Amino acid sequence: MLLPLLLAPPLAYVAYSWGAHLGTLGCVWRGRRSSRRIALTFDDGPDPEFTPRVLDLLDRAGVPGTFFLIGERAARAPDVVRAMTAGSHEVGNHTWSHTNLWKCGPRRTRLEVRRAHDLLAELTGRPPGLFRPPWGAVNLAVFPVLRRVGARCVFWSIQPEGLRPIDAATQAERVVRRAAPGAIVDLHDAEGTPNAPERLLEALPPMIAGLRERGYSFATVSDLLARP
């Protein structure tokens, strides 16, 4: 009698967090494989110092990027957000405070998504159609709110650096080696892992050159997902 009662709360939590991955059918990990295109995505910005440098590098290389922004950071650097959408880049939602959704109840989850969504819509003049959960962690409450705001949940197929720092040359080499048509690459243009933006600025030129050598061109995530 006692055992089911003791097990119920942990099981409910597992269903809410881990079990939510069963509901990721509408999510995407990669785009269409029909053409040799790749999306470079950048999480955790905008960083007032590094993101403009990343934008400048991408613009000079003619590469469109997709930036998953943290709402409270976007509120502190609105001009950087506007500069993204004035160019060829796309903006997506990465929650308001970069919280782990496994630790959020339904109410906090809604707030994290909606607050960032509304701010980004106001800054860019366009509601973001993409959402990336921090660390790829989702819960059962996130999908109804994403449906309501009309955003797709986007994971990645290549992540050259996780929580442990990886040097720039290795990151570039990993991305080029694992590249495949429709791949979505997860990069970081602001601090999460220590000094991630510095390594990114160093890794991007060889990464872009290496991918072009292998016949790849670049697209935003929405372009990668769009029907031909």
Question: Site residues (CB under 5 A) for Zn ion?
Answer: 43-44, 134
> C-beta of 5: minimal distance to Zn ion in Å?
37
Q: How far apart, in whole angstroms, are the C-alpha atoms of residue 167 and residue 123?
A: 34
Query: Closer to Zn ion at the Cβ: 37 or 41?
Result: 41
**Is 133 in contact with 142 (CB distance < 8 Å)?**
yes
Query: Closer to Zn ion at the Cβ: 44 or 90?
Result: 44
User: For this structure, is 117 an active site residue?
Assistant: no
Helices 106-124 and 142-149: crossing angle, nearest 10°? Answer: 30
Q: Give the residue at shortest CB distance from Zn ion.
A: 43
> C-beta of 192: minimal distance to Zn ion in Å?
6
> C-beta of 180: minimal distance to Zn ion in Å?
23
User: For this structure, is 43 an active site residue?
Assistant: yes
Catalytic site residue from 186, 188, 189, 223: 188
> C-beta of 97: minimal distance to Zn ion in Å?
11
Query: Closer to Zn ion at the Cβ: 43 or 90?
Result: 43
Query: Closer to Zn ion at the Cβ: 44 or 47?
Result: 44
**Is 112 in contact with 99 (CB distance < 8 Å)?**
yes
Q: How far apart, in whole angstroms, are the C-alpha atoms of residue 70 and residue 107?
A: 18
Q: How far apart, in whole angstroms, are the C-alpha atoms of residue 32 and residue 47?
A: 30
Q: How many CA atoms lie within 13 A of 207 on its CB side?
A: 29
Residues forming the active site: 43, 188
